[in-house]
Structure 1
Amino acid sequence: MSPSSRLSGGREIQLAPDDLIITKTDPSGHISYANRTFMRIAGYAEHELLGKPHNLIRHPDMPRGVYRLLWQTLQAGQEFFGLVKNYTAQGDYYWVFANITPDYTAQRTLAGYYSVRRQPTRAGIAAVTPLYQQMCAIEAQAGKAAAPDASMQWLLAQLAAKQVSYQQFVLALEQAGAAT
């Protein structure tokens, strides 16, 4: 099913506590490896994933500004932690707590990215949902070209007021939610 033919909404698929979704991509974000857990949850067969852009599963509720921040972080050679809402092939959705790390060759050239995603806390999802909704509203007003930077800057300003980075924010949400 193409992303354009999926209906927004759908039912939530919740990861089990022991589910680990693992993917690898090339430097441009095209999938070179997907584990069976990813295929089961996302609803794709391996041949439908390999060579495809990872944004195949991007949910429209996810602000483009989060992805702009993700790519800026990775291109700086740093790992990224984030809360992400994804689409399944059937039009359902699932949330993940994602850790994405640059993957280097022995010669220290970028080979791609390695991502491990697991079940997020419900408290984390509840905390980011209104932020992501506001970011999407900002993006709708800013226009396509300016949207990612406009919403990313708004998010970073909100977090700067709390004196935390996005990574610190989501890590604290996950730690606090796991403790409850």
Structure 2
Amino acid sequence: MKRPAPTGTERFLKDEDFIVSKTDLKGRIIYGNKIFIKMSGYSESELLGSPHSILRHPDMPKIVFKLLWDRIQNKEEIFAYVKNLCKDGGYYWVFANVTATTAPDGSIRDYHSVRRKPSDKAMQIIPQLYSRLLTAERSGGMEASGRLLNDILNEKGVSYDEFVLGLQQ
């Protein structure tokens, strides 16, 4: 499926909205609730079986997804702010919680994400931070954006989790 060009048109979740989706082990969508389908602008049949990355906005630094995949493949949850790209080129921000679902034998069965509206506080900080990370990424690769993120967290004296969760309060 061809990725749309971003238009700059923003959509907003309501306070009570929760987006839920599941992917298989390769990141292909196997479930999406109604608000997920509506916000994306795709039909359910277009989403099911497609890689979740179909929603990846070009303003998202790769280091965020590396952190996400590293964590969930180790059966650890992660919280992250994500800017998603809609079918029509619009976008919306979410505060995501992503976890691995395990089978009775302990193996990972699929990945589950619940997303909600990000806080105003986070939206005053995250877009600018991601812009800085992208600039570093463009000049020095994902390693450079990872170093910058670690430097910022060290300056603040917080872990990634403390930083992200602190912005949502």
Structure 1 segment 1-180 matched on structure 2, within 5 A: 2-3=2-3, 6-142=4-140, 147-175=141-169
Structure 2 Cα separation of the partners of residues 132 and 121 of structure 1: 16
SS of residue matched to 1:62:
coil
- State the alpha-carbon separation in 2 of the partners of residues 160 and 9 from structure 1: 35
**Which segments of 5 or more consecutive residues in structure 1 lack a partner in the other structure?**
176-180
Q: Is the 8 A contact 2:75 2:108 kept in 1?
A: no
Cα deviation 1:23-71 (Å, max 9, x = unaligned):
0011111111011110001111111011111110000011011111111
Tell me which moved more, 10-19 or 71-80.
71-80
User: What's the % identity of the aligned pairs?
Assistant: 41
- Aligned residue for 1:99, secondary structure, equals strand
Q: TM-score if structure 1 supplies the norm length? A: 0.90
Contact 1:83 1:125 in 2 (8 A): no
Contact kept in structure 2, 1:68 and 1:152, CA below 8 Å: no
Query: Matched residues in 2 for 1:41 and 1:92: separation?
Result: 10
Paired residue secondary structure (1:137): helix
| Residue aligned with 2:114, SS | strand
Alpha-carbon RMSD: 1.2
* Structure 2 residues not aligned, in runs of 5+: none
User: Which 10-residue stretch deviates more, 157-166 or 16-25?
Assistant: 157-166
| TM-score normalized by the length of structure 2 | 0.95
Contact 1:65 1:150 in 2 (8 A): no
Where 2:136 maps in the other structure, the secondary structure is: helix
Classify the secondary structure of the residue corresponding to 2:124. helix
CA distance in 2, matches of 1:54, 1:158: 28
State the Cα distance separating 1:158 from its structure 2 match.
Answer: 1.0
Greater than 6 Å deviation, 4+ residue runs: none
Query: Match for 2:152: what amino acid?
Result: Q
Q: Deviations over 1:72-91 (max 9, x none)?
A: 11122210101110100010
CA distance in 2: counterparts of 1:108 and 1:173, whole angstroms: 33
Q: Which amino acid aligns with 2:139?
A: Q
* Equivalences, count: 169
Q: Give 3-state SS (helix, strand or coil) of 1:128's partner.
A: helix
Cα displacement (A) at 1:135:
0.6
